[in-house]
Amino acid sequence: MTTATGPEKARHIDDRITRIGTDELVEAFGRPEGVTDLQSLRQWAAAESRTALWPIGRWADAWLGTDEAANVIAAANRLRDEPTDVTGAQLGRSARYGHHYLGWLHPAIQAWELTGDEAYVHTFETLFLNWAREKDGLAGEWPGLDLVWYSLGTWARAALLLPALDSLRRSPLSDEAWGAIMATLIGGARWAYDEHDAFRHGNWQFVSASHLLHIGAAYPQLMEAAAWRERGRERLIEHLDQDLRDDGGHHERSPGYHSMCLDAVQLALGVDELHLHTGLADHPKVRAMHHWLLELTGNGGWAPHLQDSGIVWSGPSLLRGGLLLDDQELVRAAERWLPEERVLRELAALPTAFAERRPTSWPNPHEARSVLLPASGYAVLKADDLRVVVNCGPYVEHELESHSHHAVLDFVVDHAGEPLLWEAGGPPDYDDPAYQTWYRAARGHNTVMVDCGDPSPDRDAVVESFRETDEVAVLTARHRGYGFVQRRTFVLVRTDPAYLVVRDTAEDDSNRTYELHLHSPTPWRGKGDEWESGVRAWLIGAADDSTHLTTGTARIPNPEQGTAEYGPLHTLGWQRTSGDFTTVLAPTTEGWHVFGTDSALTIAHPQGEDLLTRTQLSHKDADGTVRWLVEVG
């Protein structure tokens, strides 16, 4: 964990933010004629406000009667029957900040929309008012970071409370609770406006910009609304220009945090089209960031959990983005991964203006090709159902703590949407005791460790070459994370049967211990140079006493169920005194025989025989005919 100095500005919390009573609310709305108390202000504000996104009522209409709706109602019942400690005092240092996003209150609003049962409104009101009374006496453990009034807190609460107010207009919500919600929203917007008066990298400000745009559009009658909208749009454009890399990826290189920023952009797109009409969708980076996520999404409909990310199930986001941008390629991709029933529910939850854009005809599909995302530092090698994602990019700092992991030129492999070689990925939360020693550490990744340590953040990763033919996709990259050059070459054979060869070298002659790690969701079986789990692995030149097995933990995506629960991750370690390793990996198990040396390796398989040298790969059919020869060195 790398902590930056001063994640946000010096404390700027005053009575304008924390002491907003009835008179201050009336003042915030410009003292409209005839408005003297909360009841009259509430009626006047409702008549003048605009629809907030995304409407909870439309979601409820779309998902009524489903297992997801039943789970929401069950969560709301637990809130009612076993009220949570609104202070979050029992939680760890980082998790307690997340508690004050108030996402745990969301099921109560959803259950009200699903059932019309006023008990859920009372549950929401009681817990929210308790939180509002307690919040300003609370303190967090991150130095210089207020537990309640900070960028992610003000953004997340607005994302919940703005559409919640629309849902609660026809409910028995008290005027007191309405006033407390509005005071929280106005105080949060004032804090965010003061905080974000200049650009800075990172997801905190990125999502905060959408918050300012959203509240300024939903309540345009607020005296500060125009200033909030202007600042929100200004910061948002700056982040599109400067915080997104040239290939569309977010600066931090994390699919999960990229997706979080993408959600904020989609919210801004919807607000802009419905209420503001400034043409935000025309910014080229908006489309690029959608297609970046598409490139990292495999046949199972998920993007891997790289750099503190969780598993990103991309279908709903790409469907929504495709409709917002009228981009048929995005919609078509989403429909490959989502059942038609799910597509129809996602469409029904959107405002009608967007849902009606679903295409009725399709362009010709693009052939799956490998891609290098050079600005983000990822390569995606593809061969039909076999896919390899390689991290060949930099370590990136962050406002508070870096999300970059201590690994470089590490990779994951999936086949037909199922992970074959996997990594530790993101932790359950940042207070997890294994966060630094496993999830972020080199040993939780498919990489080569030196002397059992992590590489330096100053890794100097460089892609030397990347190319693809009909037969192979080849990536060669190097880094200096351990103070000397280590080079890794990936050769993905794209013909039938597809397989992967990984070659590691080190320009170092000192006495060191090198260890190659290969992680699989399935236990490893074998010995010496030949192993099998969900993937077949040949470790060229490995001796029986040079390999060992251990077990860790990781989220494992299950495309059939659309889940990614934590489960065992099985590690095969290969240790030697040289940094040179050659590994052959194949998703099939029958009819293979691999033999030879690093410089002349024969890979016999059901379709013939391949010969790999330092510079070339050739294929002979079963009858001995040389079918192709390509350069790989």
Q: What is the pLDDT of residues 264-293, one digit of tens each?
A: 999 999 999 999 999 999 999 999 999 999
Segment 567-595 mean pLDDT? 94
Phi-psi region of 31 (alpha: psi -120 to 50; beta: other; left: phi over 0): left
Each residue's pLDDT tens digit, 15-42: 999 999 999 999 999 999 999 999 999 9
* Cα–Cα dist 41/43, whole Å: 5
Number of other residues whose CB lies within 10 A of the CB of residue 261: 24
Provide the whole-model pTM. 0.96
pLDDT at 589 over 80: no
Query: How confident is the model at residue 362, as a pLDDT?
Result: 64
Each residue's pLDDT tens digit, 334-378: 999 999 999 999 999 999 889 888 887 766 665 679 999 999 999
Each residue's pLDDT tens digit, 497-515: 999 999 999 999 888 999 9
pLDDT at 4 over 60: no
Phi, psi for 195 (deg, rounded to 5): -70, -40
Sheet holding 600-605, edge to edge: 593-596, 600-605, 608-613, 616-620, 626-631
Name residue 206's amino acid. Answer: F
Phi-psi region of 103 (alpha: psi -120 to 50; beta: other; left: phi over 0): alpha
Count Cα neighbours of 219 within 13 Å in the Cβ-side half-sphere.
28
Query: How confident is the model at residue 441, as a pLDDT?
Result: 98
The alpha carbon of residue 516 and the mean position of all alpha carbons in its chain are separated, in whole angstroms, by 27
pLDDT at 140 over 80: yes
Each residue's pLDDT tens digit, 142-196: 988 999 999 999 999 999 999 999 999 999 999 999 999 999 999 999 999 999 9
pLDDT at 584 over 90: yes
Each residue's pLDDT tens digit, 206-259: 999 999 999 999 999 999 999 999 999 999 999 999 999 999 999 999 999 999
C-alpha separations of 387 from 43, 390, 494, 561 in Å: 56, 10, 10, 21
Evaluate whether 18 touches 136 at the Cβ level (below 8 Å). yes
Query: How confident is the model at residue 29, as a pLDDT?
Result: 98
Contacting residues for 504 by C-beta, under 8 A, at least 6 apart: 448, 486, 487, 488, 516, 579, 580, 581, 582, 583
With both helix axes pointing from N to C terminus, report the angle between 67-81 and 118-134 in degrees, rounded to the nearest 10.
50
Query: How confident is the model at residue 363, as a pLDDT?
Result: 61
Contacting residues for 67 by C-beta, under 8 A, at least 6 apart: none
Q: Which residues pair with 448 in a beta bridge?
A: 516
- b/e code 570-598 from CB counts within 10 Å (16+ = b): bbbbbbbeebebbbbbbbeeeebebeeee
Nearest Cα neighbor of 564 from 575, 572, 553 is 553
The C-alpha angle 392, 397, 403, rounded to 5 degrees, equals: 70
Confidence band for 6, pLDDT divided at 50, 70 and 90: low
pLDDT at 2 over 50: no
Segment 445-466 mean pLDDT? 97
* Cα–Cα dist 600/590, whole Å: 23
Chain mean pLDDT for the chain: 95
Query: How confident is the model at residue 3, as a pLDDT?
Result: 42
Evaluate whether 418 touches 532 at the Cβ level (below 8 Å). no
At residue 53, the 3 state secondary structure works out as coil
